[in-house]
Structure 1
Amino acid sequence: MADFLPKPALHAACQAFIEQRMAAAALAMQAAQESANSDTKSSAGDKYETGREMATQERDRNAGQLHQARQLAAELARISPDAPCDAVRPGALVHTSLGWFYLAISAGRLVVGGQECFAVSGAAPVALALKGKRAGEAAVFNGKTVQVLAVS
């Protein structure tokens, strides 16, 4: 059963993933801003303007990544890791013939307690294929039959 892979630990791993992304984006934004601020006007004015513009674009790209990480945090906050699930839906931990899936956010491969699990969003193709399934049922994903072994 899914008892040896605790949902709260997976939830915490997803939270750590988001925090790491937010910190990296904020740091990169700060570095890009400092780069833009430190560019000094040279006799080749075009070089100065190009450097500032590139730094501004980099800062804006990182601001977008920070915004996406905040959206992931809001999405994760809507999921209670303590709520039991008897069918595949957001917040469910699903043991399948392909492995473990935690339907929360798209964080990819996580290892908790030595056990591998994939954190996927509810919009992920595997989540859509498994949606509503219960233990003992099967779904077709990528042309293969996937058995749902347990849902918690």
Structure 2
Amino acid sequence: MSIRAALTQQCKDYLQHRIQRLKKSIQELESDLEGETKSSAGDKYETSREMMNAEINKLQQQLQEFRKLEEVLAVASQRKVSENIQLGSIVTTNLANYFLAIPVGELKFQTESYYGIGINSPIGKLMLGKTKGDTVFFQQQEIKIESVN
């Protein structure tokens, strides 16, 4: 399996895990909401239902965000290798390795660590369009781009 395929698969696994957790939480809240019975303390009942509905809405928004990340990852995985850093690039620097796709944190490939970052992240924005040999400055550190794949 190529490095790009392995990193992409790890990102997909991360997203699927998060999406499944969100769906399960939404289902549990909806089930609890259906099970709520109206008591003589009507205000307490309505407040409880509103809180559950607000939580469901919040989880549904998070679910939508993860769906958008799935779309971004699909585009990133289809990009052709370029000399310029773009969405989907694998970048090796003197300080760390990056996979410019979606923000997932640390990924592993064989013995190397890569950081899954979005192109809208502060370091992602700095790297976009750069090529091998370029330097960027981030948090008072000089980062030299050693390779772009």
| TM-score normalised by length of structure 2 | 0.92
Residue 44 of structure 1 aligns with an amino acid whose one-letter code is: A
Q: CA deviation at 1:35?
A: 1.2
Name 1:107's counterpart in structure 2.
104
User: Are 1:133 and 2:136 an aligned pair?
Assistant: no
Which one-letter code corresponds to 2:97 in the other structure?
A: W
Count matched residues: 149
Q: Which residue matches 2:145?
A: 148
Question: What is the alpha-carbon distance in structure 2 between the residues aligned to residue 41 and residue 128 of structure 1?
Answer: 52
Pairwise CA distance, 1:113: 2.6
Partner Cα separation in structure 2 for residue 135 and residue 22 of structure 1: 36
1:86 matches 2:83: yes
Paired letter, 1:83: K
- Write the distance in 1 (CA, Å) between the matches of 2:138 and 2:71: 28
Which residue in the other structure is 1:41 paired with?
A: 38
Partner letter of residue 135 of structure 2? A
Q: Can you list the C-alpha shifts for 1:5-60, whole angstroms capped at 9, x where unaligned?
A: 71110011111111111111111111111111111111211121111111111111
Q: CA deviation at 1:144?
A: 1.5
Q: Deviations over 1:88-135 (max 9, x none)?
A: 111100001221100011112222334211111111111111122222
Distance of 2:145 and 2:75 partners within structure 1:
24
Q: CA separation in 2, counterparts of 1:81 and 1:71?
A: 16
TM-score normalised by L of structure 1? 0.90
Matched, 1:73 2:70: yes
In 2, Cα distance between equivalents of 1:7 and 1:134: 18
User: Is 1:120 paired with 2:87?
Assistant: no
- Picking from 17, 22, 25, the partner of 1:20 is 17
Q: Which amino acid aligns with 1:116?
A: S
- Gaps spanning 5+ residues in structure 2: where? none
Identity of aligned residues (%): 28
Runs of 4+ in 1 over 4 A off after TM superposition: none
Distance 1:82 1:112 in 2: 20
